[in-house]
Each structure stands twice: as structure tokens, then as C-alpha cells.
Amino acid sequence: MRQKLNPEFAIAMAKNRNLLGYKALKNARHTTVGMPAFFQNFLSPISYGSSSMSIANSGLKLPEDRNRLLLHSCCAPCSCEIMEALVESKINFTVFFYNPNIYPQQEYALRKNENIRFAEKLHVPFVDGDYDADEWLLRVKGLEALPEKQERCLVCFDMRLEATAKFAQENGFDVIASSLGISRWKDLDQVNKAGIKAALKYPGMIYWAYNWRKNGGSQRMEEIAQREEFYRQKYCGCIYSLNNRKIIYDTIRK
Ligand code: SF4
């Protein structure tokens, strides 16, 4: 991963590096063309709820008088409400996309480019972490068969938030947060534990354990995702969550 770049340079690099892939995917972003056949027909997209809210989580302030936030983002649907709330609250922040758990690489590119599209729309700086998939597979070795919300997910959160804290420390951010906890499909305690542990490795760094689900945040997330016509993933991200969804789907169809 590019760890020692200053943020402005990293952002410029990320934009350049993604430009071709972004253009290629732009017109096909609502499809799964080119992916394995079962991607195209199993289960409906993950739903986040459906009530109508106009404002959620506005008037935010960073904790402990911090002034520069690095927001780890797992995908556009999960980070959209958070990003809008931070912009609305005039908080100085940058999006950090580091998700080597996502399989396959086409899915990774789809999720990342949707996030870039929204960051560009809001004029929010975006940093692209590397696709460290081999390292991720090593970290979760032996935990493959576990269901979601257990030890494999904690290891997965650890890896992503450790990278976030490291990049933050090396590039002048003084607080980190993550979009991971906004989804009801994730264990919020696991996410917060991973974030706190990651921040503690770097003197002066703190993790902002804000509950983004509250004040209608989850519902607002759904509204924005629909408004922006984001690509909607059908599983959490890793190959094991994909296989699990496929097994459930196959069972339902029998
Ligand atoms: S199910 Fe999701 S959180 Fe858990 S290990 Fe897989 S990608 Fe990570």
C-alpha cells in the first residue's frame, strides 16, 4: 500500500490510476456484465430499510477538538449518508478506500468506482488504498468457514482499520472513522473495537466511534443510495460471504 504519500499527492495518484477503469465501468455500473453468471441472478441487493427522512446527523463536530478526519469507506451505499452529513457539517475529511476483502476484483472495482463517483460529486478528496487481497486471505486463514459477525469479520475489520490508522498517521490526519458500522449487517461492537485498537497503535490518533445508524442515518443511507442509483452489492464482500449467499440462494430455489 502507498503509505508515505502526502494526501494531495495520493489523491491525485488515485484519480489518475482509476481514470481508465472508471470510464470503462461508468456506463455499465448498474450491471454485473463480465462477472460469473451466478452474480447476475442470485438474491436481491442488500436492503438497508425504507423510511423517509430528509436530514440525518447534521451539525456534527469532530471529537476532542480534532480537525482532520480520515474516513474509511467500505462502499458508496454505506458511506453516502456519512459523507453528506460531514459535508453538511463542514468537517474537513478525506475518504480512504481500503477493502482488500472484496472478491472478485471486478466487484472491487465496481464498489470503488461508485465511491469515487460520489466523492467527486461532493468534491471530497478520495484516497485509493491498494487491493491487498493476498494479504487479506492470509490474515483470515483458518477462519474461512465461520459465519458472518464472528472472528473472521473482526480480523477483516482489524486489517482495514489498521491500514486506515497508519495512513492517517503518516499523512497528517488526527482522527479516523469508518462507514462499516452503519450497516445492520455488521456487528457495530466489532467495528468499534477494531477502530479503537487500530488508533491506539499511533500516539495521538483517535477513533471516532460515532453511531451513524442513529437519527435516521440508516434510512437516509437507503434514500441516497436510491437517488444516486448506486450499484448495490448482494453480499458483504469476501469470497466466503459470496459463497454463503450462493448456498442460501441455491437452497431457496430447490
Ligand atoms: S463477511 Fe464481510 S466483514 Fe466478514 S470477513 Fe467477509 S467481507 Fe469481511
Is residue 46 a part of any domain in this protein?
no
* Residue 180 CA, closest ligand 1 atom number: 3
Question: Coil, strand, or helix at residue 1?
Answer: coil
* Residue 152 CA, closest ligand 1 atom number: 5
Check pocket membership of 187 for ligand 1, CB cut-off 6 A.
no
> CA-CA distances (angstroms) from residue 219 to 49, 52, 53, 210?
6, 7, 7, 16
Check pocket membership of 155 for ligand 1, CB cut-off 6 A.
no
Instruction: Measure 59 CA to ligand 1 centroid, in angstroms.
Output: 32
Check pocket membership of 194 for ligand 1, CB cut-off 6 A.
no
Check pocket membership of 240 for ligand 1, CB cut-off 6 A.
yes
Quick check: 66 pLDDT over 50? yes
Check pocket membership of 238 for ligand 1, CB cut-off 6 A.
yes
Q: Give percent of the chain above pLDDT 90.
A: 71
Give backbone dihedrals phi and psi of 250, rounded to 5 degrees, phi first: -65, -35
> Residue with the nearest Cα to atom 4 of ligand 1?
153
Query: What integer pLDDT is reported at residue 54 of this predicted model?
Result: 46
Q: Which residues constitute the domain of residue 96? A: 7-27+64-253
Is residue 38 a part of any domain in this protein?
no
Query: What integer pLDDT is reported at residue 58 of this predicted model?
Result: 76
Q: Give percent of the chain above pLDDT 70.
A: 75
Check pocket membership of 108 for ligand 1, CB cut-off 6 A.
no
- Read off the pLDDT of residues 150-182 as tens digits, 9 standing for 90 and up: 999 999 999 999 999 999 999 999 999 999 999
What's the CATH number where 22 sits?
A: 3.40.50.620
Per-residue pLDDT band for 245 (boundaries 50, 70, 90) equals confident
Q: Are strands 206-207 and 93-97 parallel, antiparallel or unpaired?
A: unpaired
Quick check: 198 pLDDT over 70? yes
Is residue 40 a part of any domain in this protein?
no
* Residue 236 CA, closest ligand 1 atom number: 2
- Read off the pLDDT of residues 103-157 as tens digits, 9 standing for 90 and up: 999 999 999 999 999 999 999 999 999 999 999 999 999 999 999 999 999 999 9
Query: What integer pLDDT is reported at residue 35 of this predicted model?
Result: 43
* DSSP, residue by residue, 62-88: -GGG---EEEEES-HHHHHHHHHHHHH
Instruction: Measure 148 CA to ligand 1 centroid, in angstroms.
Output: 6
Least confident of 43-52, 130-139, 199-208, 221-230: 43-52
* Residue 149 CA, closest ligand 1 atom number: 4
Is residue 1 a part of any domain in this protein?
no
Is residue 234 a part of any domain in this protein?
yes
Query: What integer pLDDT is reported at residue 14 of this predicted model?
Result: 44
- In the chain, the number of structural domains is 1
Instruction: Measure 99 CA to ligand 1 centroid, in angstroms.
Output: 10
CB neighbourhood size of 232 (10 A): 17
Of the two residues 44 and 223, the one the predictor is more confident about is 223
* Residue 156 CA, closest ligand 1 atom number: 8
Is residue 89 a part of any domain in this protein?
yes
* DSSP, residue by residue, 152-177: HHHHHHHHHHHHHHHHHHHTT--EEE
Check pocket membership of 152 for ligand 1, CB cut-off 6 A.
yes
Query: What integer pLDDT is reported at residue 139 of this predicted model?
Result: 98
Is residue 42 a part of any domain in this protein?
no
Is residue 110 a part of any domain in this protein?
yes
